[in-house]
Structures are given as C-alpha cells and as structure tokens.
A and B are shown apart, each in its own frame.
Chain A
Amino acid sequence: MHTTGLTSPQGIWWKPAHKSEKVWFTISFVWCMILFAMMPLWHVVGGQNPSGIRAKVEPRDYIARVQQFVRDYGTGESESGIPVVAPPPGSDVYLLAAQFQWAPVLQLQEGVEYTLHLSSLDVNHGFNLYPFNVNFQVVPGYDYGLRVTPTEAGDYRIVCNEFCGLGHHLMVGKVLVLPAETTATGPGAEPQAPVGGDS
C-alpha cells in the first residue's frame, strides 16, 4: 500500500530505500563533501580569502590612524577635495567609510602587497571594487585588515554597496594602481592602462 503526503503511514515506515534513491543520496553526499572541502583547500592553494586581520576599534581611534596615514604619505588632493595618499609598498593602508564618502584616494603599485584596513565612522558600508567585483562589509567599531595585492594596474572605483542612508548612491571612492615599473609621481598621475570608467 502506497501513501501520499496526505495520508498517515501505518506501522513501521523505516524501510530500505529504493536503489535509485540510494544512488542519488550517494551522489549528493559526495558532492556535499566536495563543496565542504573546497573552502579549507582554497585557504591553502587559493589567492582570495576573506580572513584578514580582525580587531575592534573605536571610530575615534580609527580616524586618528587615517589622519596619521594621510600626514605620512599624502601627496595632495583630488579634484573633489579628498586627500590622495601614495603609501610605500608593503605598508598599512587605512580607508575610512563615512556617510557618504570613501577617504582617502589611494595610489598603489601593481604586484605589491598592502594591508588594506577598512572601517566605518558611522553605519555599515559596503566596499565594492569596480570594475573587479570584490566585496567586503565595513562595520563601525571593527577594523578589517585585508592583505591585498593589486594584480593589475588601473583606475579603480570603490562603490558603497551597503545601504547607509539617503546619500548612499553618491558614495564613490577611487584607487589608482600604477604599473610595476612606474614610481608614484603625485596626485595627477594617471595609470598607463586604465581598466575602464571615466574619472
């Protein structure tokens, strides 16, 4: 006697599965194990992991770090009045998200590792690197230090992709990545191979 989903099965219903159910269960189980194994595996062999250096930070202290960072490596201001900073290779880079601005403008070098710190002054923001689709959550009170190596020179944008208030859609920042052989030449420096977009 078969049952439908609407009828109460009588007696013992813990019965052996059909062969095709066992086959599908096995395929599914093996696939689930592969899905699981891929994540630890990528920590070993992959170049993109969201681990980073994570710490709590008071917004006030974080702003002090950003200001120090601008004093140390600042090269001027962009046309929209945001400071431009060209940190030396391997250094700690501090990016501040605030309603509704990313600051400062960063000028990095291709193929060099930096520790990019993200934090927010006020509410949650979303770090989205255009045209590469790289995304991180920026949470107030938390310092997310990501070791990044720009692998391609270009003129990049940072779009805010977490709703942060009514000016959310106006919040766009900028990162310049200079080709490996060039040295930083100041705020007006243009990349030799722009990746897209008009500045």
Chain B
Amino acid sequence: MSDTAVAGHASPATGPFRTCPTTALRVHRDADALIKANAVAATVALLIGGTAALLVLLTRWQAVHLLSDVMFYRWLTIHGMNMLIFFILFFEMGVLYFTSAVLLNSRVAAPKMGWVAFALMVLGAGLVEWAMFTGRADVLVSSYVPLRAHPLFYLGVILFAVGAMIVTAIFFATLVIAKRERTYTGSVPLVTFGGLTAAIIAVITLGHGAAVYIPTFLWSLGLMDVDPQVYRLLWWGMGHASQQINVAAMVAIWYLLGALTVGAVVVNEKISRTAFVLYIFFISMAAAHHLLVDPGFGPSWKVVNTSYFMYMAVLASMLHGFTVPAGVEMGMRLRGFTQGIFGWLRRAPWDDPGFSAMVFSIVVFGFVGGITGVTFGTEQINIVAHNTLRIPGHFHSTVVSGTAMAFMGATYYLIPLIFRKRIAFYPLARWQPYVFAIGMLIFSLCMTFAGTFGVPRRHYDISFTGAAFQLQYSPAANLMIALMAIGGLIAITGGAMYILVTVWSVFFGKPLGDELSEAALAGTVPPGLYNRPFRELPTEPVELEEHGRLGLMPGTMLLVLIFIMAFVVYYFANWKLLSAMWQIG
C-alpha cells in the first residue's frame, strides 16, 4: 500500500475505527481512548513518584538530610508504590491495548470492561495513596508482615490488581477476536508477541499477588495468621515476577522503537520468539533472588530457582540483547549504511528521542542492570549484596534506566500516533533521553558502589546519630553517596522534562494535522514519523558484506563481545570480594 493512497484516504469522522495516516493501521476508537486514559494515569503516578524521588534523594544525601525520619520512610513508600506499581502498570495497560488492538487492526474486546478495569485501578491506587499520605501505611513497598498497614492499603492493592487482571483478559480476548475476524494474516507481529509474553507473565504475577494480598488483607483485619517467611516467598513471587512483565514489555518496546525510528528488521523471528518463550517458562523463579540469605529455604531450592533453572531467562535476555541491535544494524545496512563496522551506528538518528532512548535503555539495562542483577542473584554473592544499596543500584538501572527509559522513548511516538498531537517543546524532548540516561547512569553506578561498602538500603541516617554504638563509613562511601545525589538530581531534571513535554503536548499541544510530510512536521515530531522507515522495507535482496569472523552484523557482534567480557570481569571480581569475608556456612 503506497503512502499517498493511505494519506489521501480520509478516515470517516465517526464510526468505531479511524485509519492512522502514518502507519496505515486501522485504529479502534475505544483502543485510542483506553490508551489515553491509562497513559494519563501513568503520568500522574510518575509525577507523584518523581516528587517523592526528589524528597527521598535529598534526605539520603547526608549533607542535606531534608526530611524527618517518619516522613522519609513515608515518602520512600510513596516513591516505590507510585513508580514501581502505578506508573509502570498503568503504562503497561496502554502497551497491552496498543500491541493487541492497534497493531492487529482489531477492535478491543469488551471495551466497557476496559473502563471498569480502569476505574478499579484508579480506585485501588487512590485507596493506597490515601493510606500512605495519611500515615496509615509506613511499611514500604514490600510491606513485610508483621509490619502492619491499614486494611484499605491491602484492599487498594487488590482492587488495582483485579483491574490489571481484567485488562490482561481483554488483551487475550482481543487476540482471539483479531484472529477470528481475520484483521491480519500470518502470525502476530513480534511486538505483539512480546506484549503477549508480558500478559502471560502478568497472569502468573497477579496469581501470586492474590495469594499474598488476600490473606494479608484478612490478617490486617485480625481474621487469620500469615507466616512472615511465607509472606516473603509469595510477595516476591509477585514482586519479582512483576519486574519480568516490565522486562518483556520493555523488550517489546525495543523492537517497536527499532522499527519506528530506523526501520529495524527482525533478523530471525525464531530466535526472538524463542527468547520470549524462555521468559515465560523460567523468569518467575527469580523470586528466589530476594530469599538467598533467608532462613526458610535450603541450598538446592536456592540454586535451582535463583538461576531460573540454569539461567534460561538470562539466556533469553542475552539473545534479545543481540537481536535488537542486530536488527537495527541490519536494517540500517540494508538501507545503504554499510561503511565500516560502526558506520550504521554513527549515522543513526541520534536526534530522534525514540532512538536515543532505545539505545540508552538497551545499554544501561544490559551493561549495568543485567550484569549486576545476575551477579547479585548468585546464591553466595548475595551475602555481600543483600539489602545494601547495591540492590536499589541494580534495579534503578533495570526498571528505570531500562523500562522507564524505553517507555519514555515510546511516548514520543505515541503522542502523535494516538493523541494526534505534536510534541511540545520538541528541542527539549530531543535532549530529554540524554539528560535522564546520564543522570540515571551516575545515580545507579554510585549507588551500587556505595553498597559495596555495606551502606544499607531503606535507611534514614547512615551517620547513626543516637544509636547504641557508633560507626562511620569510609570517605569513599560518603563520596559515592554525594555523587549519587548529583546523578539523581540530573535524572530528576530529565524526568521533569519528560513530564512537562508530555503533559503540555497532550493538553495544550498543536494537533498533528493531515499533512504528514517532513516540511509540515519537521521539528515538532520525531523524524521516524515523517521518514517512516518502517513503511519502506528493502524488498530486493540486498547483499550484505561479511566482515570476517564478525559476520554480517559486525558492529553488534563487537558490542556483545565487549558486553560478555565486562560480565565475566564483574562476576568473578564479586567472587573475589566474597572470598575475603568471614567464613560462613
């Protein structure tokens, strides 16, 4: 289908569908509305969570030490719940509607239930916010029993999860409808397959969520007992599995952004889809990462589970870490960017915030988040990592630098595609991924290093004023905390830029208009939207050049070889660190 034919074909102003002039996709208006509602809710949560981030950061920065102890733990709870649960999950609900209804040209199954689900999620989140802000839930995100919060805190989480479960069911039903109504031919696109993976893991996650929050709700009412160790097992069955929803959704977004920004191809559908299936089978076992130095479990249980049964989910991430950049490289090479090993990367659209966000997301998720995560999740190495700042250092580089960064990049495309608005303050948007990524990189690296000195996470005052015994961390640890604070402030600036740009675009932005040429849109939307590399795939067989042992995708091959070397060095350096400790067995 040629571009002009689609652009000239005006979609009717009413009716259940509109035709997207940019992608030629038929978009169900209910999908549009549900995606918009969930995106707005996600942004509200991000704003609350971001404010909390600033307050918590300025308190852990010992030189400022802003909040009182009570307020610190309260805002830390608010930060965690809003970022990790509400922002991420509301956004993922949008991703589920997008990857099912929009990408498959289908109607949304049961759109009214979609609104019921949205209402439940807003109500649930509202109850949780109320409990937290009124000081009835100073229990942090994990709310380990027998720390006790107000019953409505647990009920709020349950309602939120039920809403998310309904959206997941709508996602599966939409896939069935699309197949039955033949809205596409062949197999579902890879991005949808990634969304499907996220949805299946969401079912596993929400099952654990029900298993832990319903008894805990009853416990908070005094109706039953909950064992603290069993709580930790089930809570992490939800808490870590939910991070794997984020991973699957993030990888799907990588493929999406690769296609939208440079027309990345799928090098091999079999490899990419098999990697997603490995996530489904093995990734939920990672609850064990949090229980490695717990008294309730034996060594064989710990080894088998923490390794996702012989690291099959790590294998999956390493495969995606190759296939995503390889798809970008091959897509660029097929379009004639064939100079040298890295010519494709040098000439990539670095001023496209969708592209830069994708690259930073892949690099920081892989090099920092992935390597530290696998290392700290090793049964014995966890002894020198558990509950220190190394852990939040790790997950800020996965879920923030990885998932949130990818979601931010996707937003710059979703605002024109779904909201039909131009990006406000576009030059700011172009810089935003750079500011956010650099800030988060400094923040998470310094946080991880501070943790190496044993500095605890979730701690109000590491000067221990008023404690029974005194201790003082080394100056190096304090330096790391100060640098972490500076990185954090840069990242929060990047986050504020994102919120300003998205909110302004959505509520006060200029409409996209019908003219989709570069002349009409340049400087107001990412270039992928008028260059549309994803619509113009090279059809004739283009011969790619073999670069000796590095093969057809030499740049990617070289990058992953550097990655594996960094991985090996960091991993064994941690064994060395461990071997210097007291003997323990």
Residues of A within 8 A of B (CB): 1-11, 13-15, 17-21, 23-25, 27-29, 31-33, 35-36, 38-40, 42-43, 46-52, 54, 78, 80, 82, 101, 113, 118, 122-124, 126, 128-144, 146-152, 157, 159-166, 168-174, 196-199
Assess whether A148 is in contact with B583, with CB atoms less than 8 Å apart: yes
CB <8 Å contact, B73 and A163: yes
* A130 neighbours in B (Cβ, 8 Å): 454, 471
Binds A, one of B81-89, B150-158, B225-233: B225-233
Instruction: Pick from B188, B297, B582: contact of A151, CB below 8 A.
Output: B582
CB-based contact B311/A32 at 8 Å: yes
Q: Are B382 and A3 in contact (CB under 8 A)?
A: no
Let me know if B186 and A9 touch, CB within 8 A: yes
A49 touches B138 (CB 8 A): no
Q: List CB contacts (< 8 Å) of B69-128 with chain A.
A: 69-70, 73, 103
Q: Is there an interface contact between B258 and A5, defined as CB atoms closer than 8 Å?
A: yes
Given A20-B552, A130-B471, residue A141 in contact with residue B583 (CB < 8 A):
no
Closest A residue by C-beta to B538: A2
A7 vs B266: C-alpha distance when bound (angstroms): 10
Q: Which residues of B contact A (CB under 8 A)?
A: 23, 69-70, 73, 103, 138, 140, 144, 146-147, 184-191, 194, 227-229, 232, 252, 255-256, 258-260, 263-271, 273, 291-299, 302-303, 306-307, 310-312, 314-315, 318-319, 322-323, 326-327, 330-331, 334, 374, 378-380, 382-388, 452-454, 456-462, 464, 466-472, 474, 534, 537-539, 550-553, 556-557, 560, 564, 567-568, 571, 575, 578-579, 581-585
Chain B residue contacts of A132, Cβ below 8 A:
454, 581-582
Residues on the A chain within 8 Å of B227, using CB = 141
CA A47 to CA B380, docked complex, whole Å: 10
Chain B residues near A134 (CB-CB < 8 A): 383-384, 581-582, 584
- Contacts A47-B585, A139-B295, A151-B582; A8 near B185 (Cβ below 8 A): yes
Which of A38, A129, A149, A173 has the most chain B CB atoms closer than 10 A to its own CB? A38
Given contacts A8-B187, A150-B582, contact A82 B551 (CB under 8 A): no
- Given A1-B539, A48-B578, A132-B581, A13 contacting B270 (CB threshold 8 A): yes
Residues of A within 8 A of B269 (CB): 3, 9, 13-15
Q: In whole angstroms, what is the CA distance A170 to B69 when docked?
A: 11
B456 engages A50 (CB within 8 Å): no
A50:B293 contact, CB within 8 angstroms = yes
Minimum CB distance partner of A173 in chain B? B469
Q: Which one of A11, A40, A166 has the greatest number of beta carbons of chain B within 10 Å?
A: A166
Chain A residues closer than 8 Å to B184, beta-carbon distance: 8
CA–CA, A39 and B16, complex, Å: 56
Contacts of A173 in B (CB 8 A): 468-469
A169-B468 CB under 8 A given contacts A18-B552, A35-B374, A139-B294: no
Listed by A's residue number, 28 A-B pairs whose Cβ atoms lie within 8 Å are A3-B265, A4-B534, A5-B266, A6-B23, A6-B103, A10-B186, A17-B271, A20-B557, A21-B323, A28-B318, A35-B374, A36-B311, A39-B379, A42-B379, A49-B380, A50-B293, A78-B468, A135-B293, A139-B232, A139-B295, A139-B296, A141-B229, A143-B295, A148-B583, A151-B581, A174-B468, A174-B469, A199-B470
| A142-B229 contact, Cβ under 8 Å, with A46-B380, A50-B293, A133-B452 | yes
Contacting pair A33 B582 (CB below 8 A): no
B294 touches A21 (CB 8 A): no
User: Among A3, A128, A172, which residue has its beta carbon within 8 angstroms of that of B469?
Assistant: A172
In the assembled complex, which residues on chain B have CB atoms less than 8 Å from the CB atom of A54? 295-298
Question: A190: shortest Cβ distance to chain B, in Å?
Answer: 14
Inter-chain CA distance A101–B560, complex, in Å, is 48
A137 near B294 (CB under 8 angstroms)? yes
A156 CA / B391 CA spacing, docked (Å): 23
Q: State whether A128 touches B189 (Cβ < 8 A).
A: no
Given known contacts A8-B186, A148-B584, is B454 in contact with A43 (CB within 8 Å)? no
Shortest B68–chain A CB gap in Å is 10
Q: Which residues of B contact A166 (CB under 8 A)?
A: 69-70, 73, 138
Indicate if the CB atoms of A4 and B537 lie closer than 8 Å: yes
Residues in chain A near residue B140, CB distance under 8 A = 163
With both beta carbons as reference points, the residue of chain B lying nearest to A170 in the complex is identified as: B467
Q: How far apart sit A194 and B271, CA to CA, in the bound complex (Å)?
A: 56
B458 contact set on A, CB distance < 8 A: 161-163, 168
Specify which of A4, A33, A80, A82 is in contact with B265 (CB 8 Å cutoff).
A4
Given contacts A133-B454, A139-B296, A140-B146, contact A50 B382 (CB under 8 A): yes
List chain B residues, Cβ under 8 A from A138.
295
With A1-B537, A27-B564, A148-B582 already in contact, the answer to whether A159 and B189 are too (CB < 8 A) is: no
If A21-B267, A36-B310 touch, whether A7 touches B585 (CB-CB below 8 Å) is no
Partner of B266, one of A4, A47, A122: A4
